[in-house]
């Protein structure tokens, strides 16, 4: 099928295989890209019911009932691709090719109940290393209602279709968007459902208490804002699902794996997946992003200018903080002011007012604040927005009521009665409506009048947190007036991309403006400038803390999320009594410092966050002279890598490669590298082993064999390869640089050495106060 793929059907063994064509590049001929399991039905379908409901605030639950399930496959016809004579080989290489296998699915006890299906492989020369596979199964209504007769009360519609393939028991599976707690997902069932990641995600007691307080709000190991149906294996096999329906990848069987796509019962269930060729993570990520889009390099002000400092509280508070930062030598790239539109108080705490225009009382003298930043620091302002509008403005407000305006235009997602669909976030008293970005007119209005008009032109914002995107309910009514309704089962997982499109439309032609997104779907990297890891708990663990941010950055990079950063120090702070239990999760000075040390090397930008409930016991980037000096020192470390990071971003633009990478990208055949989760690389030249546990002054690191010498930063002493335990006191994280870095990036080498020498001389200043 085309010049790069061969498809084989063995009728006797009932096995389908996809292999590279002989003589083509990118992977050896013997490398099986896809093969179905022997002795089992590789394709199956179920009739029944399926629904997804919102059980908490942005948390969802899928419920299914299968009344009829096939277990046999019968292929009855094969339509071959067009053949070309030998002298037309060049024409063949440039011509689309299709191969279709058709037949029926049935249950061995009810052979008369047959569901017609087709599998069509479609090769396109514009994507030479992709082999799309379109799967379609018709329901009982299209096959004489045979299945309905076989099972009592079975509906006629197809609700589930599953496809299975062979998988080695030891084969690692990686990817699926940002996965916060697991790198190798072999042995897991991975649902593709965009939702809130949760608070705790398995860390106790907070997860259980959060779930008791608001159903689903604790999350679990797989809840994620960025569920992307794409994986790469340790054998360099790769598959993606293009259709944005709910799906589950079952990686638990020892001999095979499977994908099940589900939706409300319908006459036909169709989806498209793709098989990728490549002989390494580098090749496969490049081939994957060729289809789904690649991120663009950030402007230098954002990634080279120092710290993006998260502040709130109004002009007077912010101005005092800026003065304090300057006194302590913190280089300022921008101030990120999430409460620029105002705030309200509810049971959750202090909340941003979701009505996107400047609060001129809270931020009086806004223009003067911006002018001062520009004059003294060459710095900018960043703000906050999401695709929701609050309905909590009083009727007599003098402010522009964006919810009322959107509702009157018919631009909000609706419920079954045609009224704006009102949802909750964090507390029952905090309510909002969602802008229907599936409606082109609504998306245009929001992009041009709200984001461009109020934020860029009206407030001179150079970027913002483009938050949320995960809350679309599955019983919503969506789409433009007078047009066929849009299916929320298709839109839910796709909404993050629509949200990224709206932001991209608002910033068209303004390459120096940087929105950063929490949610993502397959095509989001094509439109988004930057991502962040979302809302981590102020803890160290891999459930929802510091380590989970590292997991997320590594896994997200496999699916096009090439430019990512985190909230330095984490976000979610808790100090309350839940069901009679006093729960406190406060940000410690040590956690803040270690997070900053990691972010200085791993993050596309270096940004702090005041947190969800900043108080006197919470360590902040600017809460003391000590913390400000440490924060500023590592802001300079981040800036010192400017030229190197921008060279990596050029690779992002041309090849889709993440700047922060699991070591498997560069040492694909080192078995000891494969499942390491405590170290990461910035491009090919810098390896970071961050401190991920409290009260620790050393870390274990594995340095792979390399033709170049490993140098330990900041001393730049030579280190031998292999397993090492190295000192990593606060101020001197475990960072290693390949010897050739000096000649390849002399400016970054010199700047990194300079900042390292400063840290070695001054690390005694970075001792955390005992109280924090």
How does pLDDT run across 517-551, given as a tens digit for each residue? 999 999 999 999 999 999 999 999 999 999 999 99
Residue 342 has pLDDT above 50, yes or no: yes
**Residue 755: strand, helix, or coil:** helix
Q: Please compute, for residue 422, the number of CA atoms within 13 A of its CA located in the half-sphere on the CB side.
A: 12
Residue 348 has pLDDT above 80, yes or no: no
Say what percent of the chain tops pLDDT 90: 87
Contacts by 644-649, CB closer than 8 A, 24 or more apart? 644/682, 644/683, 644/685, 644/686, 644/741, 644/745, 644/748, 645/303, 645/304, 645/604, 645/682, 646/297, 646/300, 646/303, 646/304, 647/683, 647/745, 648/682, 648/683, 649/296, 649/297, 649/298, 649/303, 649/563
pLDDT at 146: 43
Residue 23 has pLDDT above 70, yes or no: no
Answer yes or no: are the C-beta atoms of 444 and 453 closer than 8 Å: no
Within 385-468, where are the H helices? 402-409, 440-445
pLDDT at 143: 47
How does pLDDT run across 704-740, given as a tens digit for each residue? 999 999 999 999 999 999 999 999 999 999 999 999 9
Output the DSSP codes for 275-311.
EE--SSHHHHHHHHHHHH--PPPPPHHHHHS-EEEEE
Q: Find the length of the chain.
A: 772
User: Residue 87's pLDDT band (boundaries 50, 70, 90)?
Assistant: low
**Average pLDDT estimate for 97-103:** 94
Determine the number of helices (DSSP H) and then strands (DSSP E) in the chain: 18, 40
Cα dihedral 293/298/302/308 (nearest 10): 20
Tokens representing 475 are 């019983």
Paired sense of beta strands 72-79 and 97-107, if any: antiparallel
Within 262-418, where are the H helices? 281-292, 300-304, 315-327, 366-377, 402-409
Cα separation of the two ends of the chain: 63
**Average pLDDT estimate for 362-386:** 98
pLDDT at 615: 83
| Sequence-separated (6 or more) residues with CB below 8 Å from residue 175 | 185, 228, 230, 231, 232, 555, 558, 559
Residue-averaged pLDDT of the chain = 94
User: Residue 694's pLDDT band (boundaries 50, 70, 90)?
Assistant: very high
Highest mean pLDDT among 64-68, 407-411, 482-486: 407-411
What CATH topology corresponds to 300-385+439-651?
A: TIM Barrel (3.20.20)
Domain edges within the chain: 300-385+439-651, 663-765
User: Residue 427's pLDDT band (boundaries 50, 70, 90)?
Assistant: confident
The residues with which 385 forms a beta bridge, in sequence order, are 466
> Which architecture characterizes domain 663-765 according to CATH?
Sandwich (2.60)
Measured from the Cβ of residue 584, the count of other Cβ atoms closer than 10 Å reads: 10
pLDDT at 97: 86
**Average pLDDT estimate for 332-360:** 93
Answer yes or no: are the C-beta atoms of 62 and 262 closer than 8 Å: yes
The answer to whether the peptide bond before residue 22 is cis (omega within 30 degrees of 0) is no
Based on C-alpha coordinates, what's the Rg of the chain? 27
Rounded (to 5) percent helix, strand, coil in the chain? 25, 30, 45
pLDDT at 151: 45
pLDDT at 84: 60
How does pLDDT run across 601-648, given as a tens digit for each residue? 999 999 999 999 888 889 999 999 999 999 999 999 999 999 999 999
Give the span between the Cα atoms of 31 and 6, in whole angstroms: 11
DSSP class of residue 83?
A: P
Q: Which of 386, 476, 474, 479 is nearest to 425 (CA)?
A: 386
The residues with which 380 forms a beta bridge, in sequence order, are 334
Burial of 207: CB neighbours in 10 Å, binned 0-12, 13-18, 19+: buried
> For residues 452 and 351, which has the higher predicted lDDT (pLDDT)?
452
> Where in 530-637 does DSSP place strands (E)?
530-532, 564-565, 574-578, 581-585, 606-607
Answer yes or no: are the C-beta atoms of 415 and 407 closer than 8 Å: no
Residue 145 has pLDDT above 60, yes or no: no
How does pLDDT run across 559-597, given as a tens digit for each residue? 999 999 999 999 999 998 888 888 999 999 999 999 999
Measured from the Cβ of residue 477, the count of other Cβ atoms closer than 10 Å reads: 17
Burial of 608: CB neighbours in 10 Å, binned 0-12, 13-18, 19+: buried
Residue 683 has pLDDT above 80, yes or no: yes
Q: Cα–Cα distances in Å, from 105 out to 115, 264, 398?
A: 5, 20, 63
Give the span between the Cα atoms of 356 and 393, in whole angstroms: 12
How does pLDDT run across 283-312, given as a tens digit for each residue? 999 999 999 999 999 999 999 999 999 999
The residues with which 177 forms a beta bridge, in sequence order, are 227
User: Residue 147's pLDDT band (boundaries 50, 70, 90)?
Assistant: very low
């Amino acid at each position: 099928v085309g010049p790069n793929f061969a498809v084989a059907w063995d009728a006797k063994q009932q096995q389908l295989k996809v292999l590279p064509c002989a003589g083509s590049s990118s992977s050896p001929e013997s490398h099986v890209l896809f093969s179905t399991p022997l002795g089992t039905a590789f394709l199956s379908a179920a009739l029944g019911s399926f629904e997804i409901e919102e059980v908490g605030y942005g948390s969802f639950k899928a419920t299914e009932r299968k009344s009829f399930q096939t277990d046999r496959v019968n292929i009855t016809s094969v339509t071959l691709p067009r053949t070309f004579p030998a002298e037309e080989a060049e024409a063949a290489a440039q011509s689309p090719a299709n191969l279709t296998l058709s037949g029926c699915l049935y249950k061995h006890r009810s052979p008369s109940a047959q569901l017609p299906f087709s599998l069509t492989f479609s090769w396109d020369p514009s994507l030479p290393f992709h082999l799309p596979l379109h799967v379609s199964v018709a329901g009982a209504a299209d096959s004489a209602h045979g299945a309905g007769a076989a099972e009592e009360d079975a509906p006629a519609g197809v609700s589930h279709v599953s496809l299975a393939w062979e998988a080695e028991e030891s084969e690692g599976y990686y990817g699926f968007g940002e996965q916060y707690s697991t790198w190798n997902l072999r042995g897991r069932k991975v649902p593709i459902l965009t939702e809130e990641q949760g608070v705790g995600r398995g860390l106790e007691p907070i997860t259980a208490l959060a779930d008791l307080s608001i159903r689903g709000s604790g999350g679990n190991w797989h809840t994620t804002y960025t569920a992307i149906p794409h994986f790469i294996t340790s054998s360099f096999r790769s598959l993606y699902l293009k259709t944005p329906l709910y799906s589950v990848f079952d990686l638990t069987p020892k001999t095979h794996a499977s994908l099940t796509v589900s939706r409300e019962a319908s006459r036909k269930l169709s989806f498209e997946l793709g098989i990728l060729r490549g002989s390494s993570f580098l090749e496969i990520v490049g081939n994957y992003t060729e289809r789904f889009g690649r991120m663009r390099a950030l402007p230098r002000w954002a990634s080279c200018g120092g710290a993006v400092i998260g502040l709130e509280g109004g002009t007077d508070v912010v101005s005092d903080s800026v003065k304090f930062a300057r006194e302590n030598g913190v280089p300022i790239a921008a101030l990120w002011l999430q409460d620029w539109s105002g705030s309200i108080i509810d049971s959750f705490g202090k909340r941003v007012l979701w009505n996107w225009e400047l609060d001129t009382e809270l931020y009086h003298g806004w223009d003067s604040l911006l002018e001062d930043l520009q004059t003294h620091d060459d710095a900018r302002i960043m703000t906050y927005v999401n695709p929701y509008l609050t309905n909590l403005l009083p009727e007599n407000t003098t402010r522009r009521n964006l919810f009322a305006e959107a509702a009157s235009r018919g631009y909000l997602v609706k419920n079954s009665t045609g009224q704006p669909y009102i949802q909750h976030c964090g507390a029952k008293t905090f309510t909002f409506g969602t802008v229907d970005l599936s409606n082109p007119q609504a998306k245009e209005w929001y992009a041009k009048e709200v984001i461009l008009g109020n934020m860029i032109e009206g407030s001179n914002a150079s970027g913002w947190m483009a938050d949320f995107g995960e809350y679309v309910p599955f019983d919503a009514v969506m789409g433009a007036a007078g047009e066929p309704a849009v299916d929320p089962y298709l839109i839910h997982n796709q909404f993050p991309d629509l949200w990224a499109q709206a932001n991209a439309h608002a910033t068209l032609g303004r390459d120096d403006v940087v929105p950063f997104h929490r949610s993502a779907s397959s095509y989001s990297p094509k439109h988004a400038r930057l991502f962040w890891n979302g809302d981590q708990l102020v803890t160290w663990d891999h459930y929802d803390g510091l380590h989970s941010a590292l997991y997320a950055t590594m896994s997200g990079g496999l699916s096009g999320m090439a430019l990512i950063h985190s909230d330095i120090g984490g976000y979610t702070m808790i100090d309350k009594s839940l069901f009679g239990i006093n729960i406190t999760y406060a940000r410690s000075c040590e956690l803040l410092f270690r997070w900053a040390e990691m972010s200085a090397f791993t993050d596309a930008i270096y940004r702090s966050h005041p947190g969800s409930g900043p108080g006197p016991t919470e360590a902040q980037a600017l809460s003391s002279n000590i913390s400000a000096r440490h924060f500023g020192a590592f802001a300079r470390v981040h800036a010192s890598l400017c030229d190197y990071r921008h060279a990596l971003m050029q690779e992002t633009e041309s090849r889709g490669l993440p700047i922060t990478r699991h070591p498997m990208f560069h040492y694909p055949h080192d078995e000891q590298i494969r499942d390491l989760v405590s170290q990461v690389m910035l491009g090919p030249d810098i390896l970071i082993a961050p401190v991920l546990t409290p009260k620790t002054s050393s870390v274990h690191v594995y340095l792979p064999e390399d033709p170049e010498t490993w140098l330990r930063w900041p001393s730049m002493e030579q280190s031998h390869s292999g397993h090492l335990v190295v000192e990593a006191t606060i101020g001197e994280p475990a960072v290693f640089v390949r010897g050739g870095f000096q000649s390849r990036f002399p400016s970054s080498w010199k700047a990194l050495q300079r900042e390292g020498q400063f840290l070695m001389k001054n690390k005694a200043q970075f001792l955390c106060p005992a109280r924090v």
